[in-house]
Each structure stands twice: as C-alpha cells, then as structure tokens.
Amino acid sequence: MDNQTFIQQKFAEFYEENASKIEAPSSISQREFGFMVFKENVMVRHKRFGTADALKTFIKESAPAHAYHSTAYYETPEAKMEDKGWLGADLYFDIDADHIATKCKEIHDSWTCKDCGFAGKGQPDVCPSCGSKRFDQRIWPCDECLDSAKKETIKLVEMLMEEFGFSSNEVAVSFSGHRGYHVHVTNEVIRELDAGARKEIVDYITGTGLNVSFFSSAVGAFRSSPETPVYALNDVGWRGRIVKGAYEFLSSATLKNLIDLGIKEKRANEIVLNKEAILNSWKREGPWRPVRGVGKEELRTIIDHVIGVQSVKIDTMVTTDIHRLIRLPNTLHGKTGWLKVSFPFSHIDIFDPFKSAVAFKKGTVNIYVEESPKFRIGDEWFGEYKKQKVELPTAAAIFVLCKDSASLVE
C-alpha cells in the first residue's frame, strides 16, 4: 500500500467514528465548502450543504485531506465566484509560525532548490547557490514554533477585546492543526466590511503606517499640566502600547541590547547609567526625560523596536480576503494528521496542541524514515531519525508520513 492510500484509509477510519463531532459553521446553507482530495491532489470547491448532517456525511464518505468552509455568506454558494452573490463575511485571523522569526526553523526545517539541487536548513528567500525562489520544503512544528504563535494569538485577542471592543462571546480561538492558531470574530457590523475596511484593521493590528516621528517629537512635552504626561502608561491604543512597551524594554535593557538596536555605544551607556532616573520620571512626566547626549533619535530607535514587539504577526491575506476558505473545526489536517481544535480563550495558556490535537490514539505502524527532526506527540518524544526503520504509534507515524519524510514498511 502506498503512503497516500494508507493515510486516506486512516482518515476514513477516523471520520467513520468521529464525523459527528465536526463543527459546522453558522448559516450553513449560505456557505461555500471546499475539499482537498487525496489521490487527485486537487481542490474541489463551490460545494453547498443544506444541513450539518449532510456535510458530515459527505466528509465521512469522502475522507478528504483537508476540509474548508467560506468565511463569507452567499446567496448561491454553489455558483461560480462572480455569480455567488456576496452577503458578508466573518472576520478571521491566521497566526502561523511561518510568519514569526524563530531560531528553531534553522534546526528542523529543510529545503532543496528545485533548479540546482542545493539544500539547506531554515526557510530561505532565495537559493544561495543559483538565486532561484523555487524550493521543495519540509516544514515541521515544534514547541518553540507553537509557543511563539500562541503568544501572538494572546496579543491579538487582547487587542480585539480591549481596543476594538469585541466581547468574549464574539471572539473564538482554535488551533489550526499545523503551525498556528485561528481567531474568528462574529459581529453584524464586521460582517458587512469590504476588503478595504478589513485592510485598515490589519494595518492597526500590525502597526503598519505608525508615525514614529509623532511619538518621538513629544519628548519632554506635556498635555495641560506637568502632572499629566503627553503619553501615560495607562493610555489605550497604540499610544499606550508604545509607552508600556518602551518602559518594559528599558526596564530590562542591557548595554548590548541598546547597541544591537543601533544606538551608539556612548549614548547607550548614558541610558543604562541613567535608567532608573529615566523610568522614575517616566511615571510622572512622560515617556522620556532627556539625559545629556541622549534625545529624540534614541527614543525613535527604541520606538521602532517596540512597534515590532507590540504588533501582531498575522497572515494579512487571510483577514483581507472576503472570499477566504478556512479549515473546518474537528477535521484533520493533511500535513500532520492532527485536528483543528476549538477551545475557550481562557484556556490558551494551558492548551497543548501536541496533546489536544492528536487524532489517532491506537496501534502502531512500521515505517522507514528518510529524515525527521526530534518531535513530540503527547508526553512522548520521538527521533530524530535518519534513514532507519522504526515502529511508531499511529499518530507519530502518520505525522511523519504526512510530511512525506517516510514510507510504509511491510
């Protein structure tokens, strides 16, 4: 049996027992559905289902590699895109480790240039040998990847509730099934926003277009009285984010941290020597009380850094695309064999995707692993493996097979 047939067979067995747990979207008859088919490796879309039961039966019978629904609502979901009759769309955010700079990628991700065959680790923009941008990649999730995505998700949800005013009932969180999280906002006003309006939301969340000069020009300035600083630690929005972020950065910043930002050593040293005085005055008078030789340019440099830390790393295309297809909760991800899992945001700190998203919990499988990094399923660690036969629990075996890094052994 080839890998693909085996994986589909396991997916079919899973859905035979668990299709009833698939979470259908609201207003199901107004949604478009799409499915990635195993053998043909093509997307079948423009599907419509009148009921949740009909959807679950279809997935149970077809066992697709991926199952999606539209974020949008349509008059005629099964029609061609130009004839669907767009009625609105929910607001979705995709936080993926691919968009976050983590050192772990240099350890577990690998690539091979399609043009010259040069290979390496990490995620390059271009091949260092021939300049090509065409790669075969093997991308693996790890604790560091998913922890970084979790931190971004927490920042995003807090921003949506504290600064946009959405309630906890309007914001839902789920693990994507691979290397990140989805955040889903349902709101009647949001539903009507076009792509341009959603781009404005994206720009705010990512800190795009912030005028750094505006913030740094306020050095030493006051609102109406010396007791009320221009920017206070308890301010809301980006003004508060920048002040709090800069305050937190300076609180722990070393001389090396400041120099690494591009601040000249002499001025960085002045900041370190006067750190306590700067932070104390900050609480009373504003974001910066200049010390000799240190002023707006240094503050501007720190603010640039803070914006990068305080902004949220999201896949901007997912949020602005008003026709986007998004993965169905409690369906399997064809690149891992894991589930997309919804959970309360209040549980995000303790949520462990390597446990909660595991679908296959019985049996073992013999495989020959070409290469895989060390990885975790539940509380058990596996690998790293290189050109060897191993007997693994089904979940671990399917994970490596889905990564196209192994083959079945009779």
Q: Residue ranges per domain, the chain?
A: 3-94+147-201+315-358, 105-138, 212-310, 360-410
- Is 80 exceeded by the pLDDT of residue 355? yes
Q: What dihedral do alpha carbons 132, 335, 91, 24 form, nearest 10°?
A: 150
Of all residues in the chain, the percent with pLDDT exceeding 70 is 92
Q: How far is CA 172 from CA 21, 33, 123, 132, 345, in A?
A: 17, 20, 30, 40, 7
- Is 60 exceeded by the pLDDT of residue 230? no
Asked if omega into 384 is within 30° of 0 (cis), the reply is yes
pTM above 0.85, yes or no: yes
In angstroms and rounded to an integer, the radius of gyration of the C-alpha atoms of the chain is 25
Of all residues in the chain, the percent with pLDDT exceeding 90 is 78
- Is 70 exceeded by the pLDDT of residue 14? yes
- Is 70 exceeded by the pLDDT of residue 373? yes
Distance between CA atoms of residues 106 and 145, nearest Å: 12
Which tens digit of pLDDT belongs to each residue from 183-211?
999 999 999 999 999 999 999 999 998 87
Kindly give the pairing relationship between strand 66-70 and strand 33-36: antiparallel
- Is 70 exceeded by the pLDDT of residue 144? yes
pLDDT at 298: 84
Which tens digit of pLDDT belongs to each residue from 36-93?
999 878 899 999 999 999 999 999 999 999 999 999 999 999 999 999 999 999 999 9
pLDDT at 211: 77
Same fold, 3-94+147-201+315-358 and 212-310: no
Distance between CA atoms of residues 53 and 31, nearest Å: 15
pLDDT at 226: 46
- Is 60 exceeded by the pLDDT of residue 222? no
Kindly give the pairing relationship between strand 180-185 and strand 91-96: antiparallel
Pick the CATH number of 360-410 from 3.40.5, 3.30.70, 1.10.1670, 3.10.20: 3.40.5
3-class SS of residue 108: helix
3-class SS of residue 278: helix
- Is 60 exceeded by the pLDDT of residue 219? no
pLDDT at 26: 96
212-310: CATH class: mainly alpha
Mean pLDDT of 113-120: 95
Give just the sign of the alpha carbon dihedral 8, 13, 15, 18: negative
pLDDT at 289: 57
Mean pLDDT of 319-336: 98
Q: Closest Cα partner for 179 from 379, 397, 24, 403?
A: 403
Burial class (CB in 10 A: 0-12, 13-18, 19+), 325: buried
Helix (H) / strand (E) containing 147: helix 143-162
Quickly count: other Cβ atoms within 10 Å of residue 394's Cβ: 19
The CATH fold assigned to 3-94+147-201+315-358 is DNA primase, PRIM domain (3.90.920)
3-class SS of residue 154: helix
Distance between CA atoms of residues 406 and 370, nearest Å: 5
